[in-house]
Amino acid sequence: MTSNPNSERLLDRIRTRKARIGVIGLGYVGLPLAVEFARRGFDVSGFDVDEAKTKEINAGRSYIPDVSEVELNDVVKNGRLRGTTRMNELGDMDVVDICVPTPLRKTKDPDLSYVVKAVEAVVETLKAGQLIILESTTYPGTTDEVVQPMLESKGLKGDADFFLAFSPERVDPGNQTYTTRNIPKIVGGMGKASTEAAAQLYESIVEKVIRVSSTRVAEMVKLLENTFRAVNIGMVNELALMCHKMDIDVWEVIDAARTKPFGFMPFYPGPGLGGHCIPIDPYYLSWKARQNGFECRFIELAGHVNSAMPDYVVERVADALNTVRKSINGSRIHLLGVAYKRDVNDMRESPALDVIELLKKRGAMVSFTDPYVPELRQGGHAMSSVGLGQAISERPDCAVICTDHTVFNYDPLISSGVLIVDTRNALKDRQAATIFRL
């Protein structure tokens, strides 16, 4: 191993669980990671600018469905995890793991403002021997073009005085099978010492760590994973539109195709893309490609198809209403589920938001039921979730299944005779003249 005393000391503190871990950003990525470090015996401080989050953590209350309140309360009570807004305490950490959002600007360009602010806070207290890891999804080159120069601005040298790595988060909210513990971790450092330090850190909490040759490779891995999904979803969304024109059940087509034991992977159409990664990551990749004189036509075309799906959902609502000689204008439309995916409370980039806006623009009166989202704010107006039983009793003109939460009981809805537009194939094997599929 290296003879660098900073590296040797850091590796020893990691191996002996004496390393103090700081996690900046306590959302869907940061909080599960902080809890896992704490469960494995590390002293962890969770940093966030949102004091409400840090108070909830210190009270042992989880606001993330994937984080068990029992596990959170346990590590808080035994003193292994605490939440704080005091960024000046970052200097007390041996490791700082940055897990902040990386959204898009309205122009579809990367917005690194959260990353920059987090790194600025780290720079203020940076000391020799610290390991800084960026987990936030971003374009290839962010770590060495943006983060490294900022960290080295005070005179310390990367991979010698301090250590820097990129390790992309691979969280799948709501997935009970694959969690922080058993999803393989990709690690790429700015040098060998940084890669080894980050790899040994993660090997203490996850089952498998994959070392790659650089931060840029690690950054590209995450973009490939999510661009792969976005492109394939775009293809199957276009297939859904085609099948509708040809009077073919796209869901039946996919179910039959997936019986092939090789060369095919099923993807499913829906009302659009949502979440913090899949709708955004391809744009990070195409933006960076343009900086290098390359046009990602295939990737951007998939983005156009996916972003048009909410419009198609509204057209299906219009088709359903036309069967009873009604228009969207003046109709009462009720959405089942507004979170971006099943059994989570995450609203980021949810296609349901676009569906609601489009329906309202066409004169509809919109309501929704979502057990995970009690209130929704859009366009300066607040909407509250209503119970599904109450919604059915009020006889909406059409119901739209946007998110197929497992807690939904569709039987009363079907029995009521209300028109239903099913964008998720939630009513598979149900046949009724009132059901309209994507």
The residues assigned a catalytic role are 277
- CA R_g for the chain: 24
First-last CA distance in the chain: 57
Residues 205, 23 contacting (CB under 8 angstroms): no
- 94's CB contacts (< 8 A; 6+ apart) are 10, 13, 14, 18, 19, 20, 21, 129, 130, 131
Whole-angstrom distance, CA of residue 194 vs CA of residue 158 = 8
- 366's CB contacts (< 8 A; 6+ apart) are 333, 334, 335, 356, 359, 360, 383
Task: Tell me the residue length of the chain.
Answer: 438
Whole-angstrom distance, CA of residue 253 vs CA of residue 267 = 11
The Cα-based distances of 95 to 17, 188, 308 in angstroms read: 12, 16, 42
Nearest partner of 359 among 310, 304, 422, judged by Cα: 310
| 260 token code pair | 């092939």
Residues 140, 169 contacting (CB under 8 angstroms): no
| 182 token code pair | 């058993």
Whole-angstrom distance, CA of residue 223 vs CA of residue 213 = 16
CB atoms within 10 A of CB 292: 8
Residues 21, 97 contacting (CB under 8 angstroms): yes
Whole-angstrom distance, CA of residue 39 vs CA of residue 332 = 49
Instruction: Write phi, then psi, for 320 (nearest 5 degrees).
Output: -65, -45
| 88 token code pair | 């000046």
Beta bridge mates, 83: 46
Residues 22, 97 contacting (CB under 8 angstroms): yes
Residues 10, 196 contacting (CB under 8 angstroms): no
Instruction: Write phi, then psi, for 435 (nearest 5 degrees).
Output: -100, 125
Q: 141: alpha, beta or left, given left = phi > 0 and alpha = psi -120 to 50?
A: left
